[in-house]
């Protein structure tokens, strides 16, 4: 599938050759930018019958406490990596609102909400979960890679009924030292305990993406977004 690339200060967008009828909003990890996952789109090898627009937003630069206050692209601040860390609720909610804006932009461009998947890696995956579970209209799915559920003590109270059965794909490296797989599994278990449909895939890798995972992501996206012609 050939794509046309559109770049701006806010994002990188891959536009399919035919009019898009679905979209994937894909959020990068800490210190990266929207370009980070652009190369994966070709590797997904989606069938030509799928007209999916890929949107890769850039997080705004902000000081990150764990990196000595160094300013980098981040969806929220991280104060520490310990289990008792204080979460940046304001930053997390601010970035979730950015995702909401992107969803609405896609609506104005003719893509229905139920044809939109919210995806993210690491920090981006945390925001994907934060935004999607609270979004008031039914989404096509949530893809959370090498990540965890942020603000997990507020999910039950804030969850949107429209997305209580939204398909969730969680993938994680078993050797991940940045975001341990145990943290991802705990988030998975919490979500399943709340009644969410979570598909879990793990791989013998670190805090990264591998080809086996790319193939699983492709299969999952096709199941969510392919048209039954």
Residues recognised as catalytic: 122, 176, 207
**CA dist., res. 130 & res. 216, Å (int):** 23
Q: CB–CB of 137/113 below 8 Å?
A: yes
Residue 66 is given by DSSP the state G
Residue 206 is given by DSSP the state S
**CA dist., res. 154 & res. 160, Å (int):** 12
Q: Whose CA is closest to 134, among 178, 89, 177? A: 89
Query: What is the layout of strands, in order, in the sheet containing 167-173?
Result: 3-7, 11-16, 52-57, 22-27, 116-121, 141-145, 167-173, 197-203
**CA dist., res. 24 & res. 106, Å (int):** 10
Q: CB–CB of 145/122 below 8 Å?
A: yes
- Looking at the chain, which runs of residues are DSSP E strands? 3-7, 11-16, 22-27, 52-57, 61-64, 70-73, 116-121, 141-145, 167-173, 197-203
């Amino acid at each position: 599938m050939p794509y046309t690339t559109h770049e701006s200060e806010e994002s990188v967008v891959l536009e399919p050759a035919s009019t898009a009828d679905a979209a994937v909003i894909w959020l990068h990890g800490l210190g990266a930018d929207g370009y980070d996952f652009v190369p994966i789109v070709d590797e997904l090898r989606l069938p030509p019958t799928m007209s999916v627009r890929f949107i890769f937003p850039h997080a705004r630069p902000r000081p990150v406490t764990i990196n000595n206050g160094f300013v980098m692209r981040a969806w929220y601040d991280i104060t520490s990596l310990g289990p008792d860390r204080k979460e940046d609720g304001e930053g997390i909610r601010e970035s979730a609102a950015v995702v909401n804006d992107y969803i609405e932009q896609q609506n104005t461009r003719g893509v229905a909400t139920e044809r939109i998947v919210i995806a993210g890696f690491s920090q981006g995956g945390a925001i994907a979960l934060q935004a999607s579970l609270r979004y008031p209209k039914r989404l096509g799915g949530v893809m959370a890679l090498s990540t965890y559920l942020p603000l997990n003590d507020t999910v039950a109270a804030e969850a949107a009924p429209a997305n209580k059965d939204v398909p969730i794909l969680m993938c994680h490296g078993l050797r991940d030292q940045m975001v341990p797989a145990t943290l991802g599994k705990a988030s998975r278990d919490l979500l399943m305990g709340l009644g969410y449909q979570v598909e879990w895939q793990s791989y013998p890798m670190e805090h990264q993406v591998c080809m086996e995972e790319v193939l699983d992501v492709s299969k999952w996206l096709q199941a969510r977004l392919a048209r039954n012609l």
